[in-house]
Structure formats: structure tokens, C-alpha cells
Amino acid sequence: MERILAEHVPDVEVLGLDDVDDYDEPAEDEATFEGNALLKARAGVAATGLPTIADDSGLCVDALNGMPGVLSARWAGRMKSDTANNELLLDQMHDVPDARRGAHFRCAVAWVLPDGTERVVEGRMAGRIIREMRGSGGFGYDVLFVPEEYATSGLTSAEMLPQEKDRISHRGRALREIAPLVAADLRDRD
């Protein structure tokens, strides 16, 4: 988030969770990405008094009726293991033909101000699920996901440079969309 927002609002210091006093983060128990992002951003404002950006994202697989969706991080259980999640997804899609392996990553980014102003945008990255894990970058399902823009080369999200992934990713798209709103809201506060 800091890397992408710095391109659009360079005069604002971006703080992460490690830069503020610890607070109890809420359980992500909403039914939508938007709901979870707002839940986390509201908690950040309540705990710090600072304008807060939070996101929620996940993988939506066509052949699984959009699942794992908001359950992406916990798809294989409460342990939040990327390896277990990927192995379960591969097992569930074992007999799904290549033509039906479409999927997309979704990301909702929420921007909440102490005055109660709330904005939410969404980004998507379309692609497909491959049959084996490849790559060591990124996290989560990146090792199984080939973005639409890389369909010819077959490069997974986990094999991409971070800057290239930022350019096409669901999170990158959402952050680039919300950055001008953040800048405008911060100017209005001054």
C-alpha cells in the first residue's frame, strides 16, 4: 500500500500497523470483501484517531461458484496456511478442464476518516488457475494464478516482479483508484 500510495500522495506519511500502538484487530466476519475492509478501517480509526486505509481481498474461482472468496485465507482451516490452501484448491480442481479454470482476485480498499467519511473501491485481476504451484514471490494463491495479461507466457503472480504485479494486481488497481480520493480528502482537511 505504501509503495502505490506514495506515487499518488507523496507528501503524506504512511504508517503501518507496526508504526502505531497495538490494538485488537477485528475478526473478519463480514460476508463481503467490502464489509471486511470497512470493519478493519473503522477499527484503525477508533484505535488511533488517524485516517485509515484497510483492504480485504481473495481469490474467486469460477468452477467453485466464486469460492474461496472472503474465506480465501482460511480455505483449508483456521491455521491460515498458504500451502494448505493451495493444496486444497488443487485437489478441488483436479478434474476441472483447462477451459473452465477461470478465476479472479478481488480487493476492496476502504478509506475511513475520523469524521465518519467512508469510501470503498474495488479492484480485480482476472486470470486462471494452473495445475501446479510455481514461483516464490507474492503470497497466498499467487503460485497457482496466471493473470490474463500473462496468459501467453504462463507467468504466475508469484513469478512476477513486485512492480509489475502492482501494475496489474487487484490491490494495485484499487489503491490507484482510491489514491486521488485520499489526496482530495486530506487536502480538504487542511
- Residues 122 and 174: their CA atoms lie apart, in Å, by 5
Instruction: Tell whether residue 165 is among the known ligand binding residues.
Output: yes
Instruction: Tell whether residue 57 is among the known ligand binding residues.
Output: yes
Q: Is 56 a residue of the active site?
A: yes
Instruction: Tell whether residue 171 is among the known ligand binding residues.
Output: yes
Instruction: Tell whether residue 170 is among the known ligand binding residues.
Output: yes
Instruction: Tell whether residue 33 is among the known ligand binding residues.
Output: no
**85 touches 149 (CB < 8 A):** no
User: Which of 19, 24, 56, 188 is labelled catalytic?
Assistant: 56
Q: Compute the Cα dihedral for 165, 166, 168, 174 and give only its sign.
A: positive
Instruction: Tell whether residue 56 is among the known ligand binding residues.
Output: yes
Q: How many CB atoms lie within 10 A of CB 30?
A: 17
> Annotated binding site for substrate, which residues?
57, 139-142, 165, 170-171
> Annotated binding site for Mg(2+), which residues?
56
> Annotated binding site, which residues?
56-57, 139-142, 165, 170-171
Active site residues: 56
